[in-house]
């Protein structure tokens, strides 16, 4: 048998067809740099129909010959199905923009949170996943935490950015209250609710309260972090420079680690790689990885990534100029050995798509790209088996003139295999999915989007949106024929 081996300069590996065999060559220095390739190799090794015909370990080099095993493997076929939906309507018939959605406990309840812009309210609710009945609701602005006039001054609404369900069926909520005036600082809050949705503790937080020049600040996410909770935000500082017309601007990331009782474990700031870099409010994604946490942030032009240990040490950071990327979230049951970021090379919706695999130092060890005519945007990207991806956001059609809420399934070559548009007969499409989460079973997701009412033909067509819609989506594997 002829062996043909090529060593790529990035140490990433090669799959070459020689006669009726495919030869994998993989340099294992260090092993963790090649998790994505090892997953594919292991899949090949476990397949009785595809090999292996031979596997050799030579020092730090692994040679695996898989009979009739292609580089991408035999991908499963999936279909995207919106299995059911729930309609959540406020008594005042106001639109609810969901910013976070997920399940709690045994998966029979959905927790959703966000904002009610028209009423200047932050809003959250625990909902029965089968009936849509609200178990509890929480509104910031009507419970004495803050006064409505303070919010109206800037025309902005308070919001709840994330929820961390707790083992006692309570939850932590984190969010932002706009400042009374543009000269004042915003206030970030952390509220702990009991199992009935009643506030147990309330805390206003400001990571830059001891920095006189600090300006705009906001909580971007809070998430479970092992036995702890991570609260992640950003803030900006300005400093006058002698002889300069404009002040020097610096931007920072901020992480506060809490135990389950709300006690601070550490509270640290990290300067952005580009001091003038200001992340889009919806462009920050945080994902637990190993014992630390990964954070990606994009301003829709460039992207910064960082990896912080469970002690608050900045282990790695990097910047991708001209690339809009989001960390890939891992579906339940898939594991999270890989660090992957998905997005586009360029700033236009039709820019080539790219999927990067990174090592623990955030160095690129594998890259997949595709130039396609389809457009999809959204920070909710989930990894699937067979290197497939499921994304939730919006699909742009007809020369960028129509934006529709959608889910998309991409195969290992980043080809758009399936699209699912969220349509309801009596509801206007809000244009995009604003919240999505992975459920307790692999390939199952819950999606939140703002709902608008369909106009009566005899009425004024400019009707107010009403409530929100929760969709349960299944990326279902089809049986092999």
Q: If you search the block for the tokens 């991908």, which residue do you land on?
A: 75
User: Burial letters for 410-428: b for 16+ Cβ neighbours within 10 Å, e otherwise?
Assistant: bbbebebbbebebebeebb
> Digits of tens for pLDDT over the chain (481 positions)?
223 232 222 222 332 222 222 333 333 333 333 444 444 444 434 433 333 333 333 333 334 333 323 333 445 677 888 888 888 877 676 788 999 999 887 778 899 999 988 778 899 999 998 888 889 999 886 444 544 444 444 567 789 999 999 988 899 999 988 766 555 666 788 999 999 999 999 888 877 666 655 667 889 999 999 889 999 999 888 888 888 888 788 899 999 999 988 899 999 999 999 988 988 888 899 999 989 999 999 998 899 999 999 999 999 999 999 999 999 987 655 555 679 999 888 766 667 788 999 999 999 998 888 766 567 778 899 988 777 889 998 877 655 556 778 898 888 778 777 888 887 655 666 678 999 998 877 788 999 998 865 554 444 444 555 788 899 999 887 776 5
Interatomic CA distance for residues 369 and 353, integer angstroms: 6
Cα gap 367→444, rounded to integer Å: 27
How do the domains of the chain map onto residue ranges?
14-67
What does the alpha-carbon distance between residue 269 and residue 207 come to, in Å, rounded to a whole number? 8
Show Cβ contacts of residue 296 under 8 Å, excluding neighbours closer than 6 positions: 284, 285, 303, 304, 305, 325, 326, 327, 341
- pTM across the whole model: 0.78
Count CB atoms within 10 A of the CB of residue 167: 8
CB 339 within 8 A of CB 359: yes
> 370 Cβ partners below 8 Å, 6+ apart?
352, 353, 354, 413, 414, 415
Report the C-alpha gap between 389 and 368 in whole angstroms: 12
CA distances to 83, 100, 132, 203 from 443, rounded to whole Å, are 12, 19, 22, 36
Burial of 189 (0-12, 13-18, 19+ CB in 10 A): buried
| Maximal C-alpha separation, the chain | 79
Bridge partners, 140 (sequence order): 122
User: Cβ–Cβ contacts within 10 Å for residue 223, how many?
Assistant: 19
- What is d(CA 188, CA 160) in angstroms, rounded to the nearest whole number? 10
């Amino acid at each position: 048998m002829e062996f043909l081996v090529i060593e790529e300069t990035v140490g990433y590996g090669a799959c070459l067809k020689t006669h009726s065999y495919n030869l994998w060559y993989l340099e294992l220095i260090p092993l963790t740099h090649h998790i994505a390739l090892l997953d594919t190799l292991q899949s090949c090794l476990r397949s009785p129909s595809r090999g292996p015909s031979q596997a050799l370990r030579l020092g730090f080099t692994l040679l695996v010959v898989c009979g009739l095993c292609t580089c991408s493997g035999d991908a499963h076929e999936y279909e995207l199905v919106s299995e059911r939906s729930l309609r959540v309507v406020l008594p005042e018939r106001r639109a609810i923009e969901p910013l976070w959605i997920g399940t709690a406990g045994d998966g029979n309840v959905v927790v959703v949170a966000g904002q009610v812009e028209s009423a200047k309210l932050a809003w959250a609710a625990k909902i029965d996943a089968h009936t849509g009945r609200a178990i509890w609701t929480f509104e910031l602005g009507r419970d004495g935490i803050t006064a409505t006039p303070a919010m109206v001054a800037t025309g902005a609404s308070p919001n709840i950015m994330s929820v961390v369900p707790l083992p006692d069926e309570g939850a932590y909520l984190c969010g932002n209250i706009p400042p009374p005036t543009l000269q004042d600082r915003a206030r970030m809050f952390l509220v702990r609710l009991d199992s009935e949705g009643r506030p147990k503790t309330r805390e206003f937080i400001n990571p830059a309260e001891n920095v006189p020049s600090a300006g705009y600040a906001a909580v971007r996410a809070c998430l479970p972090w092992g036995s702890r909770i991570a609260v992640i935000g950003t803030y900006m500082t300005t400093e006058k420079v002698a002889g300069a017309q404009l002040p020097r601007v610096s931007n920072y990331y901020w992480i506060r680690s809490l135990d389950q009782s709300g006690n601070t474990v550490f509270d640290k700031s990290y300067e952005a790689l580009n001091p003038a870099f200001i992340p889009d409010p919806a462009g920050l994604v945080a994902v637990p990885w190993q014992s630390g946490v990964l954070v990606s942030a994009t301003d829709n032009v460039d992207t910064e990534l960082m990896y912080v240990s469970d002690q608050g040490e900045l282990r790695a950071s990097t910047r991708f100029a001209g690339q809009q990327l989001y960390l890939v979230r891992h579906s339940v049951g898939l594991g999270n050995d890989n660090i992957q970021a998905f997005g586009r090379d360029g700033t236009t919706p039709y820019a080539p798509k790219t999927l990067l695999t990174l090592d623990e130092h955030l160095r690129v060890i594998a890259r997949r790209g595709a130039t396609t005519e389809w457009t999809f945007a959204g920070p909710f990207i989930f990894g699937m088996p067979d290197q497939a991806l499921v994304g939730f956001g919006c699909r742009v059609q007809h020369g960028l003139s129509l934006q529709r809420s959608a889910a998309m399934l991409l195969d290992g070559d980043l080809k758009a295999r399936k699209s699912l548009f969220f349509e309801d007969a009596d509801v206007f499409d809000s244009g995009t999915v604003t919240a999505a989460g992975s459920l307790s079973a692999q390939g199952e997701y819950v999606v939140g989007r703002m709902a608008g009412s369909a106009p009566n033909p005899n009425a004024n067509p400019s009707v107010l949106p009403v409530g929100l819609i929760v969709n349960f989506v299944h990326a279902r594997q089809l049986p092999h024929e």
